[in-house]
Amino acid sequence: MLAEIIYNLPEIALLIGILHIGFLYIFGDDKAKSYAAVTRFWLLISVFLEILFYNKNSYGDFIKKDAYSLLFILWSDICIYIMLIFSPGWFSGLKRIGGRYNILLLLAAGCLNIMIKANDLTLLLVGGCALLIINDALIRINYEKASTEPAKRYLVISCSIFALAFVCFVYLWYMAQGQTEYVSLANVISEQNKSLTIFMGIMGILMPLFYALSIVPFHMMAEEKTSKSILPVAQYFATIMPIACWGVFIRINQIFIPTYGTEMAFAYKILALISVIFGAIGASARINLHRIFTYTTMYHFGVVLLLFSLFTQEAEFTAFIYLFVYMIALDSTYMIFYSIKSHGEYLSSVTSLSGLAKSRPYTSGALLVGLFSMIGLPPLAGFLGQLNVVYELIRNEQYISLGFILVFMLLLAKAFLNIIKTIYFDQKIKLFDTENKYVLLYTWFGGIAILVLMFNPYHIIETMKDMFYVLFL
């Protein structure tokens, strides 16, 4: 009993963090910085404990802690930590404390951690449902009393998708005679004859993950999640959610590969290529930065899914590398959004960035680094991902898919060039606020990380490889 409590200390630390925020509120602290500092502190404690007990399992087969889960938990928690450095500035600007946001973020971190560690479909579904409620609450944080329509739509669509997933879960549960632990489920599926209903059941289980990852055609809320939410929430949806969801997806994928690999490969490939096409076209057709990056993410996640359709260990690790370098670039781009302000208002349309380079050369430079990395130009980290993807697709003789990716990459590059054109050539139409030095420092830190990763990737990639390959043991 004591051991179980100790092994669950990472989650308990997050709950204590929530209580601590509650105390702060009761005692009338009105500084957004204090709330964020407390959240960061308990998040760090949770991360530390996660590292300490990374292989100590509890609750029987429900949870499976290993180096793989630690990898994704560390990654998502570090992203949350970075986000918590920037968000107080945003809340202070509106004279808000951001208490609700911090509490929801800790809850979301806990849910995501559990989902990554989950070794049982039931636990995964419960975690997913809890996360749905938390996400809905996050979307509803809107201080301008703007329409709550997006939040309502999000709830309706998410509930529908979860309902469908639940039906599929019940079917698989019935078929497996109540065994929902991953390995047992995999064994049961492999013993059954191949059938369309089981395949549909599997796809139904994966559907909420596709929805969270904005894979076409499950991208209904992709744009609204980021463009209609407040900036810290948009960052959460753009960076943290996908990292954790990919962590879950990669693990759950392993259950169904031995039996339904061929069918799933075909389905993944179709979904991936449609996402690549939609992502590139969508990005070049939008003028809102959040929407552009949502579509950019759609393109890149399409590429990641395409690699998963190959169902080889090397391809899966390649997908992970690609995801890793892309998310670094995206994260550093979101940091830049915090430093683009005019009269206290955070800017999000491309046209509002006109002439940014003249008055904010360092911010523009950092944005340039992020954009170039996203299209895989050397010597930036994005190239590392691109190199791996091209190699893996060629090795598996996926020339047509490779052609698709590269052609639509050009379209995506054109979208980025429009941003660069606006920043560097257009006349300034807004007076930009002075940059926060800390924000600038972190922004450049992100840019430098993109460069350094490219120059000496050996150690970090080797470490990640060791942690990732635990999945296949």
Binding status of residue 468 toward another protein by CB under 8 A: no
Binding status of residue 395 toward another protein by CB under 8 A: yes
Stretch that binds another protein, among 83-91, 216-224, 404-412, 436-444 (CB under 8 A): 404-412
What Å distances lie between residue 373 and 160, 332, 369, 453, CA to CA? Answer: 37, 11, 6, 11
Q: How many angstroms separate the CA atoms of 362 and 369, rounded? A: 11
Binding status of residue 410 toward another protein by CB under 8 A: yes
Closest CA to 424 of 363, 335, 378, 382: 363
Cβ proximity to another protein: between 296 and 388 the closer is: 388
Binding status of residue 332 toward another protein by CB under 8 A: no
Q: How many angstroms separate the CA atoms of 62 and 123, rounded? A: 7
Pick one of 44, 129, 130, 420: the residue that binds another protein (CB under 8 A): 420
Q: Three-state SS for 342?
A: strand
Cβ proximity to another protein: between 194 and 421 the closer is: 421
Residue 430 DSSP one-character state: S
Binding status of residue 394 toward another protein by CB under 8 A: yes
Q: Three-state SS for 456?
A: coil
Cβ proximity to another protein: between 129 and 402 the closer is: 402
Scanning residues 160 to 179, which ones bind another protein (CB under 8 A)? none
Binding status of residue 27 toward another protein by CB under 8 A: no
Binding status of residue 386 toward another protein by CB under 8 A: yes
Q: Please check whether residue 112 is in contact with residue 468, taking contact to mean a CB–CB distance below 8 angstroms.
A: no
Residue 469 DSSP one-character state: G
Within 176-240, where are the H helices? 182-191, 196-212, 222-227, 231-235
Scanning residues 288 to 317, which ones bind another protein (CB under 8 A)? 314, 317
Region of residue 344 (left: phi > 0; alpha: psi -120 to 50; beta: else)? left
Q: How far is the CB of 458 from another protein (least distance, A)?
A: 6
Pick one of 25, 81, 424, 445: the residue that binds another protein (CB under 8 A): 424
Q: How far is the CB of 298 from another protein (least distance, A)?
A: 20
Residue 152: partners with Cβ closer than 8 Å, 6 or more residues away: none
Tell me the pairing of strands 345-346 and 341-342. antiparallel
Q: How far is the CB of 425 from another protein (least distance, A)?
A: 5
Binding status of residue 377 toward another protein by CB under 8 A: yes
Q: Which residues lie near another protein (CB under 8 A)?
A: 314, 317-318, 321, 357, 361, 368, 372, 375, 377-379, 383-384, 386-388, 390-391, 394-395, 402, 406, 409-410, 413-414, 417, 420-421, 424-425, 457-458, 461-462, 465
